[in-house]
Amino acid sequence: MSLAEFATFWRQEMNTLHCPTYPKKPADLPLSARMCLENYNNGELFQSMFGKPESLPFDVLLGYKAGQSILQDEPKLIDAGLTQAATAARVRGEQLEAKVLQNNIELGRK
């Protein structure tokens, strides 16, 4: 994560050249800026600035490191500032649910 990336985000998304000091924690930003940053570039910048994977429970950490987080991990990932991983877990869970539903429909037809 570079300071330049944060400055670029601020100029593009907050539409002002007055950029604050580099925040040490999400609460250092105004709520609107924090929410925008959480969604900017799929949460990648927010995650690199504030993500703390070491704060995850061990089972969730293993899934995170393997890139295999599940839908139930999403709240814990968000709490750890890992917004991009939380989004990926939600999408993976939705895809799995859709696949299970499709399989059940196919079984019902047989």
Task: Quote the pLDDT of residue 107.
Answer: 85
**Counts for the chain of helices (H) and strands (E), in that order:** 6, 0
Question: Average pLDDT, stretch 5-28?
Answer: 89
How do the domains of the chain map onto residue ranges?
1-50, 52-110
| Average per-residue pLDDT for the chain | 91
Torsion sign across C-alpha atoms 21, 77, 45, 15: negative
Per-residue pLDDT at 17: 67
Examine the pLDDT at 2 and tell me if it is beyond 80.
no
pLDDT of 52: 95
Confidence of residue 82 (pLDDT cuts 50, 70, 90): very high
- 28-59 pLDDT tens trace: 999 999 999 998 988 899 999 999 999 999 99
pLDDT of residue 1: 58
Number of Cβ within a 10 Å radius of residue 19: 14
Separation of alpha carbons 40 and 25, rounded Å: 17
pLDDT band of residue 3 (cuts 50, 70, 90) is confident
Q: What is the pLDDT of residue 106?
A: 86
